[in-house]
Amino acid sequence: MVSIRVVTGRRLTNKFIGFPYNLYRKDSNYVPELRIAQRDILNRKKNPFFQHSEAEYFIAIDEKGEVVGRIAAIINAKYVEHWNENYGFFGFFECIDDQKVADALFNSALNWLKNKGVDGVYGPMNPSTNDQCGTLIDGFDTPPYIMMIHNKDYYQTLTDNYGFTKKIDLLSYHLIRDEVPKKMLDLAKNIEARLAKKYILIRKVNFNDIKTEAQKLRYIYNKAWEKNWGFIPMTEDEFEKMVKELKMVTTPDLVYIVEEKGEPIAFVACLPNINEITIKIRNGRLLPFNIFRLIGFKKRVKSVRVLTLGLIEKYRKTGIDACLYAKCFEGAKKMGYEEAEGSWILENNLMMNRALKNVGAKVYKKYRIYQHNFNNG
């Protein structure tokens, strides 16, 4: 017998946050989330996401009083506004291998959303596509890169059995630095030279003037992905928060912007893979001693994630993406990084998938976004 409780107050919030550390304690490929970061994401007063959206959190408790699962139900007003589709979301799903527990969690989230009047549900989102999202369905044998998901291999079965169906898959590509074709790097240099003659210039983002730069990056971000499924425009406060956080974990050698006569048209951002360090912090707590593990991590890790690469539509098929990948390669080589992940890419984004394959990258992980339409059961 399992009971579902709405998460209220600090004690239940701690249980919601703490459940995965116990669930994955024997999974060597699981990278624990830092508790302080999870608390900020879930905090309705601190996370600017909740300036326009709302969520309810649930935990499942067994007859012994132990937490055996968790889930969130989410209304994202920006998604509804952008896509004119009245769908809600579920997220932060974690569960023991028990269909009855999973069903109880899904029922709680979907009933809450149904009472809000939505037509259907997508997920998982934690809490949106601007954060961690998707259920890992292939590629369980290696740890995730920074800001990516790792979950139990039975989640797909639990979700399918409840009645969710596939909406779309997200792909992660793996790349070994020394396997990047030299001809692609040479081609990128030639393209960059041609672009310069058209006053299209590539430069490092100025971290010393990050507030001004963030305005340009946000403009590109909200224009470049506006037609991609699941895209949700970021508010100024959301983007500013993200940039501040990313500035702490990356370096100017890994973040580039492209401008035409000073107007922003594209950018790329890569992140040193801090998961190589945090995988050792099994309880997710930085204090009192684990915080020292993070000192100088950028020089100690051996991998990097290409977090985002966006071009305003007008400038696609110009070779700018190849130039930005080459810049990332140069920056990663300078920092001593040996491997990279490009993630995540929509399976139907033919241009981005082709670009990654052209530099020698291979799909090695796959994530699924699910859907449930209330009008069809």
Give the model's confidence band at 151: pLDDT under 50 very low, under 70 low, under 90 confident, else very high: very high
Kind of pairing, strands 165-176 and 339-346? Answer: antiparallel
Give the Cα separation of 331 and 339 in Å (integer). 12
Reported in sequence order, the residue ranges of the chain that DSSP labels E, i.e. its strands, are 2-6, 54-62, 67-75, 87-95, 120-123, 125-126, 132-133, 135-138, 165-176, 200-204, 255-260, 263-272, 303-311, 339-346, 362-373
- Share the mean pLDDT of the chain: 95
CB 301 within 8 A of CB 274: yes
Compute the average pLDDT of residues 205-213: 94
Distance CA 78, CA 49 (A): 9
Q: Which whole number is the average pLDDT over 274-282?
A: 96
**Residue 331 in tokens:** 């920056």
Mean pLDDT of 234-254: 94
Residues linked to residue 59 through DSSP beta bridges, in sequence order: 5, 70
Find out whether 88 and 74 touch, Cβ atoms under 8 Å: yes
Query: CA triplet 350, 355, 357: central angle to 5 degrees?
Result: 95
Residue 84 has pLDDT above 90, yes or no: yes
Q: Residue 289's pLDDT band (boundaries 50, 70, 90)?
A: confident
E strand or H helix at 247: helix 236-249
Confidence label for 376 from pLDDT (cuts 50, 70 and 90): low
Please name every residue paired with 72 in a beta bridge, in sequence order, or none if there are none. 57, 91
Angle between helices 320-335 and 350-358 (to 10 degrees): 50
Task: Give pTM, 2 decimals.
Answer: 0.95
pLDDT over 70 percentage in the chain: 99
**Residue 360 to residue 177: CA distance in whole angstroms:** 9
pLDDT for 372 beyond 70: yes
Antiparallel, parallel or unpaired: β 263-272 and 362-373: unpaired
Q: What span, in angstroms and rounded, lies between the C-alpha atoms of 130 and 89?
A: 13
- Spell out the domains of the chain, with CATH numbers in brackets: 2-170+369-376 (3.40.630.30), 175-367 (3.40.630.30)
pLDDT, average across residues 234-243: 94
pLDDT at 377 over 80: no
Tokens 């981005």 belong to 352
d(CA 247, CA 250): 5
Distance CA 100, CA 60 (A): 11
Work out the average pLDDT over 277-294.
91
For the record, the structure tokens of 128 come out as: 């949106």
% the chain with pLDDT above 90? 93
